[in-house]
Chain A
Amino acid sequence: MAKTDNGIRICQGLLILGNVVIGMCGIALTAECIFFVSDPHGLYPLLEATENDDIYAAAWIGIFVGFALLALSILGIVGVMKSNKTLLLVYIILMLITYAFEMASCITAATHRDFLTPNLFLKQMLERYLKSDADNNNDKWMTEGVTKTWNNLMLQNQCCGVHGPSDWQEYTSAFRVTHNDADYPWPRNCCVMDNRGEPINLDGCKLGVPGFYNSNGCYDAISGPLNRQAWGVAWFGFAILCWTFCVLLGTMFYWSRIAY
C-alpha cells in the first residue's frame, strides 16, 4: 500500500541519515582523541607520576570507539537499505557493545578530571622536582619526567611553581634538600632567561625584582589543556551517545516491523 510504502521509505531515509551522522562523528571522535593522546603540551609525565592518568585511557578508548562507530554505521546503512533482519540484528548488538565502551570513556574522563586540583600538582612538584635520591627505577623515571616537564613548562609559559614562586618558600620540598635557600630561593628556571638559557640577571632573580623572574603560577598552563582534553572527550562522547541512542531506538523499531 502506498501509505505504508511511504512510511517505510521515510523510516529508511531517517535511519540512513542517522547512520551517516554517526559515521562522521566517529571519524571526528577518532581525530580528536588522537590529538589528545599525542600530548601536544607535554603534560603526560605529570599525570603519569600522579598515577592518575585515566583521562589518557579514556582518549585511547575514544580512538577505537570512533573507528567502530564508522564501521558500524556503514553496516547499518547497508542493512537498512537491504532490509535484512540478520544484518540489522548484528548491527544492533555491536552498537550496544560500542555504546557501553564509549559510556565508560565519557564517565572516566569526567570523573578523573575532577581529581586534577592545584594541590595535586603542588604536592607532586614539591615531592619530585629535582629530587636527588630515588627509591627504585620507576621512581627515578617519574622524577626525571616531572623535572623535565616542569622545566619546559616554566621556560615556555614564563611561570614558576603552581601558584607562584612563593610555593618554594612556603613549603618544604625535595628541591630544598639539595639547593639551599640563600642561593636558590626558587629554581633557576623561574628566572627570565636570555637566548642562551642563562638568567639575564641572577641577583635580580634571587631578589625577586620584577622583570627578572617569573611571578605567575603555572597552574593555568597545566589545567587549561587537561580540562579541554577531559571535557572534549566527555562532552563530545556524550553528544554522540545521545544521537546514537535515538538511531538505535529507530533501528530496533524498524527491525521489529520488517516482515520475513
Chain B
Amino acid sequence: MSRSHSHPVSHCSAADKLSYRPRLADLEGRVTGSTFVLEQPRCIFDKYNTAEIWLVVATRAGMGDFNDSAQPGMPEWSFQRFPANTSAYLTLGAMQYHYRCLEPNRELTVLRVGSETSCADNASVPNCNGPLPSPGPYWVKFLALNDSESIATTQWSGPITLRTARAIPSSPGTGSGRSGAMIAITAILSVLLAILLAAFLAMLCSSEACGVGSFRPDSASIHRYNTHHVYDQSAARL
C-alpha cells in the first residue's frame, strides 16, 4: 500500500481524522478472487466508547463521492448496488468494544470482507458483507458513528486488488524434456541388442547352416585305404 490518499472531509467538519490506515492481514487467504482480509482496528477507537464502527469499501470514484454523513441503512450506500449504481458501501458494523485494545502478544485478529454469500442478492440487507463482484482495486476505511453522526474516520487504505484467475496451463509438448538417463538407456540397449544379433548370425554361419559354409580340410578329402594285406593272403594261397 504505497500511495496515500487523504481526501478532506467535505461536509462534516466535526469528525476526527485518525492517522491509522487499514491494512491486509498476513495470511494465506489475504486476497482471493472475491474476498480480502483486513486486520481489526484494535486500540484505534478507544476514545469513542459508544460508537459503532463501520467499514467503508469504495472504488476510486467512491473515495471522492463518499461523505461521512452516510447512514448504514441508506440504500444509496448498500452492497447490492455496488459497484454499478454506487461507488461505496458500508458493511461489517460492530460496537466499539469489539475493537478494544488487547495485550500485545495476543493473536492476530482479522476481518474477512466478502464472506457472506447468503445475503448478496437480498436488498433488504443493505449492509451485507457479500463477495466482491470484480477484482477491484478497492479502497477501505473505518468510520465511527455515534447515533448516526460520524465522529471519527481513519485514512483510506492503499489500493487492494483481488486475484484474477488465469486460464489452465497447457501441458508441455510430448517432445520436450527428454532426460539424459532415458537417452543413455535407449542407446546402450540398442547397441547391445545389435551386437547380440550380429553374434547370433555369426554363430549360425560358422556351422554348416549358412550357404557360404566354411571349409574344413578334413571333410572335403576322401581317404582310400589299400588293404594290401588281403591281397597278400590270397596270393599266398594260389
Contacts and interface: CB of A to CB of B under 8 A. Distances in A.
A177 B189 CA distance: 49
B197 interface: yes
Contact of B193 (A100, A166, A238): A100
B199 to A, nearest CB: 5
Secondary structure type dominating chain B contacts: loop
A113 B30 CA distance: 37
B185 A107 contact: yes
B189 A172 contact: no
Nearest to B206: A256
Interface in B169-210: 169-172, 174, 177-179, 181-182, 185-186, 188-190, 192-193, 195-197, 199-200, 203, 206-207
A126 B158 CA distance: 33
Interface stretch (A19-27, A60-68, A178-186): A178-186
A245 B188 CA distance: 11
A127 B214 CA distance: 67
Given A99-B196, A111-B182, A181-B33, A207 B189 contact: no
Given A107-B186, A120-B171, A169 B33 contact: yes
Nearest to B183: A110
A241 B184 CA distance: 14
A103 B189 contact: yes
B165 A172 contact: yes
A106 B185 contact: yes
Interface string B155-170: 0000000010111111
Contacts of B197: 96
B27 A209 contact: yes
A169 B181 contact: no
B115 interface: yes
B169 A122 contact: yes
A249 B117 contact: no
B35 to A, nearest CB: 5
A157 interface: no
Interface in B58-81: none
B63 to A, nearest CB: 24
Contacts of B130: 182
A167 B213 CA distance: 70
B236 to A, nearest CB: 43
A114 B195 CA distance: 28
A131 interface: no
Interface string B68-101: 0000000000000000000000000000000000
Contact of A245 (B186, B196, B206): B196
B179 A249 contact: no
Interface string A149-182: 0000000000000000110011111001000111
Nearest to B162: A181
Nearest to B30: A208
Interface in A96-151: 96, 99-100, 103, 106-107, 110-111, 113-115, 117, 119-120, 122-123, 126-127
Contact of A114 (B171, B179, B203): B179
Contacts of B192: 241-242, 245
Contacts of B29: 185, 206-208
Contacts of A43: none
A5 B186 CA distance: 40
B172 to A, nearest CB: 6
Contacts of A173: 165, 168
A14 interface: no
B206 to A, nearest CB: 5
A103 B28 contact: no
List the 9 closest pairs (A to B, CB-CB), nearest first: A208-B28, A208-B29, A181-B33, A182-B131, A110-B182, A172-B165, A208-B27, A181-B34, A252-B203
Interface of B: 25, 27-30, 32-35, 37, 110, 112, 114-117, 130-131, 163, 165-172, 174, 177-179, 181-182, 185-186, 188-190, 192-193, 195-197, 199-200, 203, 206-207
11 contacts: A92-B200, A92-B203, A107-B189, A110-B186, A114-B177, A120-B171, A171-B168, A180-B117, A182-B114, A183-B117, A185-B33
